[in-house]
Amino acid sequence: MTTSSPSSLTADTIKTLQFTWRNQQVRWYQSGKGSDLVFMHGWGSSASPFFPLATTLSDLRSCSMIDFPGFGQSETLKTPWSLSDYSDLVVSWLDEAGIKQFDVLVHSFGNRVLLDLLLRPEFAGRIQKIIVTGGAGLKPRRSLKTRAKLTFVKVLKFPTTFLTNSLSEWYLTRLRSSGLWKRMGSSDYSKLSGAMRQTFTQVVNSHFDSMLGQISREMLLLWGENDTATPLEQGYRLEKAIKGSALIELKGAGHYAFLDKPHEFASIVRAYLMDSDSDSLHSRGTGNSALSPA
Protein backbone atom coordinates (compact mmCIF):
# COMPACT_ATOMS: atom_id res chain seq x y z
CA MET A 1 0.00 0.00 0.00
CA THR A 2 1.40 3.39 -0.95
CA THR A 3 0.65 6.94 0.09
CA SER A 4 0.39 9.88 -2.28
CA SER A 5 0.06 13.58 -1.61
CA PRO A 6 -3.27 14.68 -0.20
CA SER A 7 -5.52 16.68 -2.49
CA SER A 8 -5.24 20.46 -2.20
CA LEU A 9 -8.79 20.70 -0.84
CA THR A 10 -7.92 18.59 2.19
CA ALA A 11 -4.17 19.08 2.44
CA ASP A 12 -3.98 19.16 6.23
CA THR A 13 -6.73 16.75 7.18
CA ILE A 14 -7.13 13.86 4.74
CA LYS A 15 -4.43 11.47 3.54
CA THR A 16 -4.71 9.91 0.09
CA LEU A 17 -3.57 6.29 -0.18
CA GLN A 18 -3.78 3.55 -2.78
CA PHE A 19 -3.45 -0.19 -3.19
CA THR A 20 -3.74 -2.73 -5.99
CA TRP A 21 -6.35 -5.48 -6.05
CA ARG A 22 -6.99 -7.81 -8.99
CA ASN A 23 -4.81 -5.60 -11.15
CA GLN A 24 -6.95 -2.54 -10.30
CA GLN A 25 -5.48 0.61 -8.79
CA VAL A 26 -7.75 1.70 -5.94
CA ARG A 27 -7.62 5.01 -4.07
CA TRP A 28 -8.77 5.53 -0.50
CA TYR A 29 -8.58 8.29 2.05
CA GLN A 30 -8.09 8.55 5.78
CA SER A 31 -8.49 11.23 8.42
CA GLY A 32 -9.04 11.59 12.16
CA LYS A 33 -8.22 9.44 15.16
CA GLY A 34 -9.97 6.94 17.36
CA SER A 35 -12.06 3.88 16.52
CA ASP A 36 -12.53 3.12 12.83
CA LEU A 37 -15.44 4.46 10.78
CA VAL A 38 -15.62 3.18 7.19
CA PHE A 39 -17.49 5.10 4.47
CA MET A 40 -18.85 3.59 1.23
CA HIS A 41 -20.24 5.88 -1.47
CA GLY A 42 -23.03 5.65 -4.02
CA TRP A 43 -22.97 4.71 -7.69
CA GLY A 44 -21.64 7.52 -9.88
CA SER A 45 -20.21 9.31 -6.85
CA SER A 46 -16.92 8.99 -4.96
CA ALA A 47 -15.44 9.38 -1.50
CA SER A 48 -14.98 13.16 -1.83
CA PRO A 49 -18.57 14.16 -0.92
CA PHE A 50 -17.89 12.51 2.45
CA PHE A 51 -14.83 14.68 3.17
CA PRO A 52 -16.67 17.50 5.02
CA LEU A 53 -18.49 14.98 7.24
CA ALA A 54 -15.29 13.00 7.88
CA THR A 55 -13.49 16.20 8.84
CA THR A 56 -16.29 17.06 11.27
CA LEU A 57 -16.02 13.62 12.89
CA SER A 58 -12.22 13.48 12.84
CA ASP A 59 -11.93 14.13 16.59
CA LEU A 60 -14.17 11.12 17.26
CA ARG A 61 -13.28 8.52 14.63
CA SER A 62 -10.51 7.45 12.28
CA CYS A 63 -12.43 7.82 9.00
CA SER A 64 -11.54 5.62 6.03
CA MET A 65 -13.21 6.28 2.66
CA ILE A 66 -12.78 4.33 -0.58
CA ASP A 67 -13.21 5.32 -4.21
CA PHE A 68 -14.80 2.23 -5.72
CA PRO A 69 -13.16 1.18 -9.02
CA GLY A 70 -14.65 3.19 -11.87
CA PHE A 71 -15.26 6.25 -9.70
CA GLY A 72 -13.32 9.11 -8.17
CA GLN A 73 -9.56 8.67 -8.44
CA SER A 74 -9.63 4.88 -8.68
CA GLU A 75 -8.89 3.20 -11.98
CA THR A 76 -11.85 2.33 -14.20
CA LEU A 77 -12.79 -1.33 -14.42
CA LYS A 78 -10.94 -3.45 -16.95
CA THR A 79 -13.54 -6.25 -16.82
CA PRO A 80 -17.16 -6.34 -15.63
CA TRP A 81 -17.69 -6.82 -11.89
CA SER A 82 -20.55 -8.23 -9.85
CA LEU A 83 -21.73 -6.90 -6.50
CA SER A 84 -19.78 -9.71 -4.82
CA ASP A 85 -16.60 -8.41 -6.44
CA TYR A 86 -17.12 -5.01 -4.79
CA SER A 87 -17.76 -6.74 -1.45
CA ASP A 88 -14.62 -8.85 -1.85
CA LEU A 89 -12.68 -5.67 -2.59
CA VAL A 90 -13.89 -4.08 0.65
CA VAL A 91 -12.83 -7.14 2.67
CA SER A 92 -9.35 -7.09 1.09
CA TRP A 93 -9.04 -3.31 1.54
CA LEU A 94 -9.89 -3.46 5.24
CA ASP A 95 -7.56 -6.42 5.79
CA GLU A 96 -4.69 -4.62 4.11
CA ALA A 97 -5.42 -1.43 6.04
CA GLY A 98 -5.43 -3.38 9.30
CA ILE A 99 -9.03 -2.42 10.11
CA LYS A 100 -10.55 -5.28 12.11
CA GLN A 101 -13.62 -3.95 13.95
CA PHE A 102 -15.33 -0.86 12.61
CA ASP A 103 -18.44 1.27 12.39
CA VAL A 104 -19.77 1.96 8.91
CA LEU A 105 -21.61 4.75 7.10
CA VAL A 106 -22.95 3.98 3.64
CA HIS A 107 -24.80 5.93 0.97
CA SER A 108 -26.92 4.61 -1.90
CA PHE A 109 -24.96 1.84 -3.75
CA GLY A 110 -22.74 1.50 -0.67
CA ASN A 111 -25.74 -0.04 1.07
CA ARG A 112 -25.87 -2.87 -1.48
CA VAL A 113 -22.28 -3.71 -0.57
CA LEU A 114 -23.09 -3.44 3.14
CA LEU A 115 -26.11 -5.75 2.91
CA ASP A 116 -24.04 -8.29 0.99
CA LEU A 117 -21.37 -8.17 3.71
CA LEU A 118 -23.93 -8.47 6.52
CA LEU A 119 -25.10 -11.71 4.92
CA ARG A 120 -21.58 -13.16 5.18
CA PRO A 121 -21.42 -14.73 8.67
CA GLU A 122 -17.63 -14.89 8.61
CA PHE A 123 -17.39 -11.12 8.12
CA ALA A 124 -20.53 -9.55 9.61
CA GLY A 125 -19.18 -9.72 13.17
CA ARG A 126 -16.51 -7.17 12.31
CA ILE A 127 -19.16 -4.51 11.67
CA GLN A 128 -20.23 -2.55 14.74
CA LYS A 129 -22.49 0.50 14.50
CA ILE A 130 -24.23 1.01 11.15
CA ILE A 131 -25.50 4.22 9.54
CA VAL A 132 -27.35 4.07 6.23
CA THR A 133 -28.43 7.14 4.26
CA GLY A 134 -30.38 6.96 1.00
CA GLY A 135 -29.59 3.26 0.85
CA ALA A 136 -30.15 1.25 -2.33
CA GLY A 137 -30.77 -2.48 -2.50
CA LEU A 138 -34.55 -2.79 -2.44
CA LYS A 139 -36.66 -3.42 -5.50
CA PRO A 140 -38.19 -0.07 -6.47
CA ARG A 141 -41.93 0.36 -6.65
CA ARG A 142 -42.32 1.43 -10.25
CA SER A 143 -44.64 4.23 -11.24
CA LEU A 144 -47.14 3.91 -14.09
CA LYS A 145 -44.82 6.02 -16.24
CA THR A 146 -41.87 3.70 -15.56
CA ARG A 147 -43.93 0.59 -16.27
CA ALA A 148 -45.08 2.13 -19.57
CA LYS A 149 -41.47 2.88 -20.50
CA LEU A 150 -40.40 -0.71 -19.81
CA THR A 151 -43.28 -2.02 -21.92
CA PHE A 152 -42.25 0.26 -24.78
CA VAL A 153 -38.65 -1.00 -24.53
CA LYS A 154 -39.92 -4.59 -24.88
CA VAL A 155 -41.89 -3.55 -27.98
CA LEU A 156 -38.76 -1.99 -29.51
CA LYS A 157 -36.78 -5.20 -28.92
CA PHE A 158 -39.57 -7.52 -30.10
CA PRO A 159 -38.34 -7.79 -33.75
CA THR A 160 -35.23 -9.65 -32.52
CA THR A 161 -37.40 -12.72 -31.85
CA PHE A 162 -37.74 -13.21 -35.61
CA LEU A 163 -34.16 -12.38 -36.66
CA THR A 164 -31.04 -14.50 -36.94
CA ASN A 165 -28.33 -13.92 -34.34
CA SER A 166 -26.26 -11.71 -36.64
CA LEU A 167 -29.23 -9.61 -37.75
CA SER A 168 -30.48 -9.39 -34.17
CA GLU A 169 -27.12 -8.05 -32.99
CA TRP A 170 -27.06 -5.53 -35.86
CA TYR A 171 -30.58 -4.38 -34.99
CA LEU A 172 -29.82 -4.00 -31.27
CA THR A 173 -26.61 -2.09 -31.98
CA ARG A 174 -28.49 0.37 -34.19
CA LEU A 175 -31.30 0.63 -31.64
CA ARG A 176 -28.97 1.34 -28.71
CA SER A 177 -27.19 4.08 -30.66
CA SER A 178 -30.44 5.82 -31.57
CA GLY A 179 -31.59 9.02 -29.91
CA LEU A 180 -34.86 7.39 -28.91
CA TRP A 181 -33.12 4.60 -26.99
CA LYS A 182 -30.80 7.05 -25.23
CA ARG A 183 -33.77 9.14 -24.12
CA MET A 184 -35.46 6.02 -22.75
CA GLY A 185 -32.46 4.78 -20.79
CA SER A 186 -31.22 5.49 -17.26
CA SER A 187 -29.00 8.58 -17.01
CA ASP A 188 -26.50 6.49 -14.99
CA TYR A 189 -26.47 3.81 -17.69
CA SER A 190 -26.16 6.23 -20.61
CA LYS A 191 -23.01 7.78 -19.15
CA LEU A 192 -21.22 4.43 -19.04
CA SER A 193 -19.51 2.22 -21.57
CA GLY A 194 -17.72 -1.11 -21.76
CA ALA A 195 -17.07 -2.94 -18.51
CA MET A 196 -18.72 -0.23 -16.39
CA ARG A 197 -21.98 -0.49 -18.35
CA GLN A 198 -22.10 -4.28 -17.93
CA THR A 199 -21.26 -3.89 -14.25
CA PHE A 200 -24.06 -1.37 -13.74
CA THR A 201 -26.57 -3.75 -15.31
CA GLN A 202 -25.53 -6.45 -12.85
CA VAL A 203 -25.41 -4.44 -9.65
CA VAL A 204 -28.56 -2.38 -10.22
CA ASN A 205 -30.52 -5.63 -10.29
CA SER A 206 -29.10 -6.81 -6.95
CA HIS A 207 -32.11 -6.65 -4.61
CA PHE A 208 -32.19 -7.87 -1.02
CA ASP A 209 -35.92 -7.67 -0.20
CA SER A 210 -36.28 -11.41 0.38
CA MET A 211 -33.11 -11.62 2.50
CA LEU A 212 -33.58 -8.71 4.90
CA GLY A 213 -35.26 -10.98 7.45
CA GLN A 214 -31.90 -12.72 7.90
CA ILE A 215 -30.37 -9.49 9.22
CA SER A 216 -30.94 -8.46 12.83
CA ARG A 217 -28.67 -5.54 13.66
CA GLU A 218 -28.85 -2.13 15.29
CA MET A 219 -28.92 0.23 12.34
CA LEU A 220 -29.54 3.98 12.11
CA LEU A 221 -31.34 4.99 8.91
CA LEU A 222 -31.01 8.69 8.00
CA TRP A 223 -33.22 9.58 5.04
CA GLY A 224 -33.93 12.81 3.20
CA GLU A 225 -37.69 13.33 2.97
CA ASN A 226 -37.29 14.51 -0.64
CA ASP A 227 -35.06 11.67 -1.82
CA THR A 228 -36.18 10.70 -5.33
CA ALA A 229 -33.32 8.27 -6.14
CA THR A 230 -34.10 5.96 -3.20
CA PRO A 231 -37.46 7.29 -1.96
CA LEU A 232 -38.29 7.56 1.72
CA GLU A 233 -40.68 4.62 1.49
CA GLN A 234 -37.65 2.40 0.85
CA GLY A 235 -36.18 3.60 4.12
CA TYR A 236 -39.36 2.63 5.94
CA ARG A 237 -39.33 -0.76 4.24
CA LEU A 238 -35.78 -1.31 5.53
CA GLU A 239 -36.83 -0.25 9.02
CA LYS A 240 -39.76 -2.67 8.99
CA ALA A 241 -37.73 -5.59 7.63
CA ILE A 242 -34.55 -5.30 9.72
CA LYS A 243 -35.03 -5.92 13.41
CA GLY A 244 -32.96 -3.39 15.33
CA SER A 245 -33.14 -0.56 12.81
CA ALA A 246 -34.68 2.88 13.32
CA LEU A 247 -35.32 5.65 10.81
CA ILE A 248 -35.00 9.42 11.16
CA GLU A 249 -36.33 11.71 8.42
CA LEU A 250 -34.32 14.79 7.55
CA LYS A 251 -36.71 17.53 6.52
CA GLY A 252 -35.79 19.43 3.37
CA ALA A 253 -33.06 16.97 2.41
CA GLY A 254 -32.77 14.88 -0.74
CA HIS A 255 -30.68 11.88 -1.75
CA TYR A 256 -27.47 13.47 -0.46
CA ALA A 257 -28.84 14.26 2.99
CA PHE A 258 -25.34 14.63 4.45
CA LEU A 259 -24.68 17.48 2.00
CA ASP A 260 -28.16 19.03 2.05
CA LYS A 261 -28.32 19.18 5.85
CA PRO A 262 -24.70 18.83 6.97
CA HIS A 263 -25.09 20.22 10.50
CA GLU A 264 -28.16 18.15 11.39
CA PHE A 265 -26.73 15.02 9.78
CA ALA A 266 -23.37 15.30 11.56
CA SER A 267 -25.03 16.04 14.91
CA ILE A 268 -27.18 12.90 14.72
CA VAL A 269 -24.26 10.71 13.61
CA ARG A 270 -22.04 12.09 16.37
CA ALA A 271 -24.68 11.44 19.05
CA TYR A 272 -25.21 7.90 17.79
CA LEU A 273 -21.51 7.06 17.64
CA MET A 274 -20.85 8.49 21.11
CA ASP A 275 -23.70 6.56 22.73
CA SER A 276 -22.45 3.28 24.23
CA ASP A 277 -25.96 1.99 25.01
CA SER A 278 -26.58 -0.96 22.69
CA ASP A 279 -30.32 -0.36 22.90
CA SER A 280 -30.01 3.35 22.15
CA LEU A 281 -32.18 3.42 19.05
CA HIS A 282 -35.13 1.64 20.60
CA SER A 283 -34.96 3.39 23.95
CA ARG A 284 -35.31 6.65 22.05
CA GLY A 285 -37.72 5.79 19.25
CA THR A 286 -37.30 7.53 15.89
CA GLY A 287 -38.51 10.90 14.68
CA ASN A 288 -38.82 12.55 18.10
CA SER A 289 -35.80 10.86 19.62
CA ALA A 290 -32.92 12.49 21.39
CA LEU A 291 -30.92 11.77 18.27
CA SER A 292 -33.11 14.09 16.23
CA PRO A 293 -31.67 17.52 15.38
CA ALA A 294 -32.74 20.39 17.56
The pTM of this model reads 0.79
Tell me: pLDDT of 284 over 80.
no
- Domains, in order of start, for the chain: 2-139+207-284 (3.40.50.1820), 144-193 (no CATH)
pLDDT, tens digit, for every residue of 209-227?
Answer: 999 999 999 999 999 999 9
Q: What does each C-alpha distance from 118 to 91, 219, 225, 253, 264 come to in angstroms?
A: 12, 12, 26, 27, 27
Nearest of 153, 150, 147, 199 to residue 172 by alpha carbon:
153
What is the DSSP code string of 18-67?
EEEETTEEEEEEEEE-SEEEEEE--TT--SGGGHHHHHHTTTTEEEEEE-
What pLDDT is stored for residue 50 in this prediction? 98
What pLDDT is stored for residue 144 in this prediction? 55
pLDDT, tens digit, for every residue of 59-70?
Answer: 999 999 999 999
pLDDT, tens digit, for every residue of 167-206?
Answer: 777 777 776 677 665 565 554 545 555 788 889 888 888 8
Q: Give the C-alpha separation, 178 to 32, whole Å.
A: 49
Q: What is the mean pLDDT of the chain?
A: 85
Q: Give the C-alpha separation, 94 to 80, whole Å.
A: 22
For residue 208, how far is the Cα from the chain centroid?
A: 14
pLDDT, tens digit, for every residue of 117-134?
Answer: 999 999 999 999 999 999
Tell me: pLDDT of 81 over 60.
yes
The four Cα atoms 26, 75, 114, 119 give a dihedral, to 10 degrees, of: -90
What pLDDT is stored for residue 73 in this prediction? 97
What is the DSSP code string of 269-281?
HHHHHH---TTHH
What pLDDT is stored for residue 287 in this prediction? 43
Q: What is the 3-state secondary structure (H, E, C) of 91-151?
A: HHHHHHHCCCCEEEEEECHHHHHHHHHHCCHHHHCCEEEEEEECCCCCCCCCCHHHHHHHH
Tell me: pLDDT of 292 over 90.
no
Tell me: pLDDT of 112 over 60.
yes
Nearest of 13, 25, 5, 111 to residue 73 by alpha carbon:
25
What pLDDT is stored for residue 8 in this prediction? 38
What pLDDT is stored for residue 167 in this prediction? 79
pLDDT, tens digit, for every residue of 257-276?
Answer: 999 999 999 999 999 999 86
What pLDDT is stored for residue 161 in this prediction? 78
% pLDDT > 70, the chain: 78
What pLDDT is stored for residue 283 in this prediction? 46
SS3 category, 290: coil
pLDDT band at 165 (very low <50, low <70, confident <90, very high): confident
What pLDDT is stored for residue 181 in this prediction? 59
Q: Give the C-alpha separation, 9 to 19, whole Å.
A: 22
Nearest of 72, 27, 200, 53 to residue 131 by alpha carbon:
53
* Strand 216-224 relative to strand 127-133, pairing: parallel
pLDDT, tens digit, for every residue of 238-250?
Answer: 999 999 999 999 9
Say which DSSP state 75 is in: P
The predicted model gives 95-102 an average pLDDT of 97
SS3 category, 86: helix
